[in-house]
Amino acid sequence: MPRKLLLPYKSVFSHFRAPRGLHDSLAMNAARSGYRVFSANSTAACTELAKRITERLGAELGKSVVYQETNGETRVEIKESVRGQDIFIIQTIPRDVNTAVMELLIMAYALKTSCARNIIGVIPYFPYSKQSKMRKRGSIVCKLLASMLAKAGLTHIITMDLHQKEIQGFFSFPVDNLRASPFLLQYIQEEIPDYRNAVIVAKSPDAAKRAQSYAERLRLGLAVIHGEAQCTEQDMDDGRHSPPMVKNATVHPGLELPLMMAKEKPPITVVGDVGGRIAIIVDDIIDDVESFVAAAEILKERGAYKIFVMATHGLLSADAPRLIEESSIDEVVVTNTVPHEVQKLQCAKIKTVDISLILSEAIRRIHNGESMAYLFRNITVDD
């Protein structure tokens, strides 16, 4: 029986004519393949950072609609095809944190069910990052949020200056924790004329490592505020003290544990010389500003003639603008990880540093499969 001749793949379909419009469709799909950038919030204040990023990338913001129903439910509608693409969701966190979280979760799930290849969340300020430790009869809410994001469909996260770097361990997918310190250091060098006469200040011992990193990079002195006026997270009860001690508690016979002495803070002190110098207080978050205002008063009493506050995330909640305006603080410098245009209108001392450059470069490198090491050059764990 004669063997059949197997024609090459090309010759088999050499006489096949594609239906009209198929070539155009394939070309269109090829053009569309790649990545898209969406904003998970449709308000003008929250889309500003997303627009800055897309302008740097030379791309257009993805077409979507995010709004609240009359009953308070969040609805997300994706208005274009995302099949097989890398999708980056930019979500800045306004004052209504819980609504922002739901917007992000619903949009991620909508993109997942629309067959997006990868869904990367760009969350410059990660919400609930302060709730990353066990408290008395509490929970680690940050870990819960990490699990919810993974379940919704996120495959990667780009964030900036996590409150605790150990939060990266809560996630089951990659997390790129970028740093804002290069931009804040550049601001100090370019916008503070006499910065060589400055001293970097940590408003509590907890912030000493960050302040030391700034001081070493700028070749400046270091000062630390310590004493009874400070209240740190370590002073709060955690799960290891639960249940609380009760008077006349029953003790098991033969069980005699060493008695833990109660903490007593020393009088307020400033470790380091700030007299006749510019004091630059550095931290990662500035939210309730009472502690910063109190630190500024102490530094003023110790002889500092100008006081700056530098922070990555400017939440500036409640009466923060008014308190800053009435305080001894000369300038508060924050990045645009969180929208704060309203607060800037209320207080002229608030200045903004744009960090869209590093976020757009991170998006480009992740999509192209390039190394992220360039964005972390000369960055240490304490930055």
Return the pLDDT at 280.
98
Buried b or exposed e, range 240-277, using 16+ CB within 10 angstroms = eeeeeeeeeeeeeeeeeeeeeeeeeeeeeebebebeeb
User: pLDDT for 292-322, tens place per residue?
Assistant: 999 999 999 999 999 999 999 999 988 999 9
Could you tell me where in the chain the CATH 3.40.50.2020 domains are found? Answer: 36-178, 182-228+267-353
User: pLDDT for 116-173, tens place per residue?
Assistant: 999 999 999 999 999 998 887 889 999 999 999 999 999 999 999 999 988 999 999 9
User: pLDDT for 334-346, tens place per residue?
Assistant: 999 999 999 999 9
Q: What percent of the chain has pLDDT over 90?
A: 70
Return the pLDDT at 115.
95
Mean pLDDT of 48-65: 94
Return the pLDDT at 383.
72
What is 182-228+267-353's CATH number? 3.40.50.2020
Return the pLDDT at 84.
93
Q: Poorest-confidence range of 55-59, 201-205, 251-255, 358-362? A: 251-255
pLDDT at 23 over 50: no
36-178 CATH pick, 3.40.50.2020, 3.40.50.2300, 3.50.50.60, 3.40.50.720: 3.40.50.2020
pLDDT at 22 over 80: no
pTM for the whole structure: 0.83
Q: What is the CA radius of gyration of the chain?
A: 26
- Tell me the pLDDT band of 233, cut-offs 50, 70 and 90: low
In the chain, which ranges are E strands?
Answer: 35-39, 64-68, 74-78, 86-90, 118-123, 156-160, 175-178, 198-202, 221-226, 269-271, 278-286, 306-314, 331-335, 350-353
Return the pLDDT at 19.
41
Q: For residue 321, is the peptide bond before it cis, meaning its omega torsion is within 30 degrees of 0?
A: no
| Degrees to nearest 5, angle at CA 180 with 177 and 186 | 155
Return the pLDDT at 5.
42
- Specify the higher pLDDT residue, 251 or 100: 100
Mean pLDDT of 35-52: 89
Buried b or exposed e, range 148-161, using 16+ CB within 10 angstroms = ebbebbbbbbbbbb
List the structure tokens of 182: 């290069």
Return the pLDDT at 247.
53
Give dist(CA 350, CA 325) in Å, integer: 9
- Tell me the pLDDT band of 259, cut-offs 50, 70 and 90: confident
